[in-house]
Chain A
Amino acid sequence: MKTFITAIITLFAVSVPVGALRAEEAQDNAFNYRRSSICSMLVRHDEQKFADEIERQFLLIPVPDKYNDHDLSVKVVSVDKKGKYDADITRFVENNRIASRLVGKWFNRNILNGQCDLDLVKERGLYNASAMDVELAKRSARGIAMLEDAGEDLIGNTYLLMNEVSYVDKSKRSKTWGMIGGIAMGILTMGAGGSASDATKMMNNTADIISSYKGFTVKIETRLYRLVWDDQAQGTFYKEHYAATPDPAKKEAFENGRSGYRMEYVGSVVSKGGKTSFLGINEDEPEVMVRKACARAIDENVVDLQKKYEFFRVRTPIISVDNGIRAQIGLKEGLTKDSRFEVLEPQEKDGKITYKRVGVVKPVPTKIWDNRFMASEEGAYGADFGATTFVKESGSDFYPGLLLREI
């Protein structure tokens, strides 16, 4: 299979001058190393208070750090009453052939004519080109092709997060509606051509009073599905569905064969539903509170899923060693002063990258990065660190590009 993939890449790929990658570019790209890809969807409860606000804000929440954005056009589906929806969600995933759509996205498959390309595979492969990769590539007989293949390997690490807002707190809204509403027929403009928009231009508010949330509590159940990208799926795709040029027959074959691609249900977690502080929430943007609560609940779930499922766990590269060992991982990923990380060195073996443990590090307690959503706006301690600093517990000299994985 690997030979076949390499053949496709050789046929259609434009070679990329990895050797020309500057060290700092490699370091920038290191942040993206070995990222899994995530598609995140919201199961909206129409019957819930704040359903509209939650949907609006969910659509603004970025894909969690250290994952590639693999979202599809459909981001939200609804239910209209309370209930248990485990089976319904799985059925939705199956009936709507989401697995095939995620595969299609990997190959930028043109839904109109069936044409595919390897740009995204290569791109995500080359995003993985940390300084270490570049070094490896220089030494490797397969060179660039190996890096591109590494991107192809990432397809099996494609996940679907189905986020169901299972509980919303009945937090009261402020009654300061004087400023957002109006006095019916009360405040008027009169004369030649006064209008609301003109009036807005003339405003110079200094103290808007607006609707606000007294805190916002939300519980989100996140169900995790993994794209099944086994030999059978790969074989079917490359042999029967991959079309380098518009191909009506293969287009039809893919459409008819969508059900052959599968998502595997992995498990679920529920966020704790703790109160979200309104610190950092600009008073004239109260809905950001909803986004903050939802984003943190999803982040919390992603961390919990990582703890439960090792294959979902991210490996984070060391980005510098000049002033301590630094890596862009922090409180959002559940780091504490007691966390321990193994240091992994990527190595090429038989054309595949494997990882060798070369040491252990732990965070400096006072230098843990607070990278939680909106931590900067809160003025939280460590929000401006940009990375967590680690100290070595064991191992030899480390260098940027080596990977950290929690143990």
Chain B
Amino acid sequence: MKIAKLIFSFALGLALTAAQAQNLAPDRNAKGKWGFVDESGRAVIDYKYDEAEGFVKGRAKVKKGNNYGYINEKGKTVVPIKYQELTPFDAYSYRAATDGKVKDGVLLDEKWGFIDLDGKPLLKCEYQEVGEFGSNGLAYVCKDGKYGYINRRFEFVVPCKFTAVGAWNKDGRVWVCEGGKADKNNPSQIVGGKLGIYDENGSIIIPVKFASLGTFTYDEYPDEVLRQLSIVERTYAATLALGHKRENKVPVEVTKFSSTPVCGDMGYFYSNNSNTYKNGVADANGKELIKPGAYQIAWYPSENLAVVLKSNKINFLNLTSGKLMAKKGYANAFSFVDGYAVIQPAQNSGWKLIDTSFHDATPEYTHIFPYADKCYRVVTPKGMGLISSTGKTLIEPSLAFIGESNNQRMKFRETADGKSGYIDNTGTRVIAADYDDASDFENGMAKVKVGDNWGVIDANGKQRLAPLWSVVGDIVSPDQKEFWVGSHTDNLMHLYSTETNGFVFGNGFYGARAFDVDIPGAAIVTGAEAGTIGCIDRTGKIIIPNEFDEISQVVEAHSLLSKRPAGATWQQIDTYRLKQRHNPKLNKGKLSETLSSDLWDY
């Protein structure tokens, strides 16, 4: 028996191999019917189909009348020819459509479902749309205008009852909208409706009942700040202050669905109002931290304390006790950082730091600038100073100026008309105030002025470019060795090398941007005519003449030139043609017109 089975298997294998080796191709006869022929042109499967595609893994899609199905290489139907549309097999299923009508060659009002390899229904064909399964094994479906998501077992992960659903984000979350209707003026938007969030397991993260829903986003800030919320931008403080008078003006940014992930890394806010007024707050897992409606505005908590607005006063909500911690509240406040928060007790009063016991940690200052580099810049009538994140005085507020921290350096001046130097975040004067002017640090270096001349120093005050120049160009990398410098002699910009202590090439330009910033191996330069730009190579040779107004067009010109044979040069006519391509009137002409000659390239 075993031998018989082996022989049978072997024979079957040979037969299959032979069948696969037939190499059949779809072919249409003179009557317009499709069949399949072998390499000699002999018809192997009769010409009886209205359409036929080639065999893939032993199956070919065929059409009879308005219906599709699949046959095998023997011509046997393996998926019934009864579907009005069938998508390719995706390793699990076909998407199949029935019950539609064909008008002018287009299938309308069909119902979609899923079938298996043998045509057995997996999900009944009763949906207006079914999507492709994504990498998370979920596909959207739509029935009677309502959307949901199914998994590979064709179970609903998100019930099919929503007016709209979002795309799954990296955390496996998706927003849904129940109810609402398309905006008459903007049909791609839904107005009204309730929003909520599901995860990939079908769990509701945020109940579907809120008029607005969103995330706290702080992704442009470093990790240490990410932990804190609503603490950084002074503009937000201003907005919050504005909230005292106009409660419904809150710092929110409306974004489109298509670009709105419900990330959840930093928690969610939601509200029964479309403008987030009286919002609630939940953490990334959907655990509600602050109920909606309790406060005019609530921010995400930091150190178990959330900034809230109530009765037009800012306060701190202790999430454990549910109590507001400040008796009278504040005019303004930022969230806690390192156990301390910046508050403004009353409108027109000064600002100070408080600790988590809500005791004053500093005296009152006229102003406290946003937290940066673990310290705050403070202002008093006597001048500016620096305090640590815990309120310790680092520099008495007596300086005329302290600038923003860049590369852990802050520019300072002792007196209003005094010289400039730099301090670090401990208040140490790391670079003496020897300069008549100075820039902020960028890429570990800063431009400094001595008399009428500019040069460059590094973070330790070491000279990187001698102060000899009327101007110094951008510092674009920490190991920069070549700088665009302005010559007092000819008032042009020249490229100077700090390695050779000389100019890299002889010619100069009215303006210049650093090499490699816009175009690899080239620099954008400004020509003699103010405003016209082109580009040069590293030897100073002009690649694209100064004939353009926009950097993007110089970049495009350079790209076009680079595709031409070696040695090709850019000509005036090239500029003419390139500008013509960007002429907004191009391709807007009427058939009845004689088009303006400046629209034609030849």
Contacts and interface: CB of A to CB of B under 8 A. Distances in A.
Interface of A: 43, 55, 59, 72-80, 85, 88-89, 92, 95-96, 100-102, 104-105, 109-113, 169-172, 174-209, 214-217, 273-275, 279, 283, 336-337, 364-368, 370, 379-382
Interface residues of B, number: 119
A368 B165 CA distance: 45
B269 A190 contact: yes
Nearest to A185: B274
Nearest to B210: A186
Contacts of B356: none
A110 B577 CA distance: 10
Contact of B220 (A75, A169, A198, A380): A198
Contact of A188 (B28, B104, B253, B581): B253
Interface string B191-220: 101010000000000000001111111111
Nearest to A170: B104
B342 to A, nearest CB: 14
Contacts of B139: 207
Contacts of A196: 253, 255-256, 259-260
Given A176-B129, A203-B169, A206-B135, A111 B601 contact: yes
A181 B41 contact: no
A382 B25 contact: yes
B599 A73 contact: yes
B147 A209 contact: yes
Contacts of A112: 572-573, 576
A184 B136 CA distance: 28
Q: Which 9 pairs show the lowest CB-CB distances between chains A and B?
A: A381-B54, A178-B164, A181-B188, A194-B217, A207-B134, A104-B602, A188-B214, A204-B170, A206-B134
A193 B253 CA distance: 9
Nearest to A362: B41
A177 B167 CA distance: 12
8 contacts: A177-B188, A181-B188, A182-B256, A187-B257, A195-B255, A196-B259, A202-B219, A283-B131
A187 B104 contact: no
Q: Which of B104, B133, B274 has the most CB of A within 10 A?
A: B104
B27 A365 contact: yes
Contact of B188 (A59, A182, A370): A182
B490 to A, nearest CB: 32
Given A105-B602, A182-B257, A198-B217, A175 B576 contact: no
B55 interface: yes
A203 B261 contact: yes
A209 to B, nearest CB: 5
Contacts of B183: 184
Contacts of B53: 380-381
A181 B186 contact: yes
Contact of B23 (A187, A214, A366, A370): A366
Interface in B1-45: 23-28, 37-41
B167 to A, nearest CB: 4
Contacts of A183: 164, 177, 180, 189-191, 193, 195, 257
Contacts of A171: 106, 108
Contacts of A190: 214-217, 250-253, 269, 276, 279
Given A202-B219, A366-B39, A184 B257 contact: no
B154 to A, nearest CB: 15
Contact of B167 (A72, A174, A194, A203): A203
B323 to A, nearest CB: 24
B166 A178 contact: yes
A81 B279 CA distance: 52
Nearest to B269: A190
A379 B263 CA distance: 36
B65 interface: no
Contacts of A100: 602
Contacts of B259: 196-197, 199-200, 203
Nearest to B175: A187
B189 to A, nearest CB: 5
Interface in B146-179: 147, 149, 163-170, 175, 177
A317 B348 CA distance: 86
Nearest to A107: B602
B142 interface: yes
Contact of B38 (A55, A85, A366, A382): A366
Q: Which of A78, A185, A367 has the most CB of B within 10 A?
A: A185
A207 B147 CA distance: 13
A186 B193 contact: yes
Contact of A191 (B218, B275, B593): B218
A187 B195 contact: yes
B591 A77 contact: yes
Contacts of B593: 77, 92
B212 A207 contact: no
B105 to A, nearest CB: 4
B489 interface: no
Contact of B230 (A92, A184, A192): A192
B563 interface: no
A52 to B, nearest CB: 12
A366 B589 contact: no
A336 B88 contact: no
B401 interface: no
B340 interface: no
B182 A177 contact: yes
B165 A381 contact: no
Given A180-B258, A182-B258, A215-B107, A206 B142 contact: no
Contacts of B106: 169-172, 214-217, 275
A79 B588 CA distance: 10
B54 A382 contact: yes
B261 A177 contact: no
B233 A365 contact: no
A73 B177 contact: no
Contacts of A216: 106
B132 interface: yes
A217 B589 contact: no
A336 B190 contact: no
Given A179-B164, A180-B188, A191-B217, A186 B587 contact: no
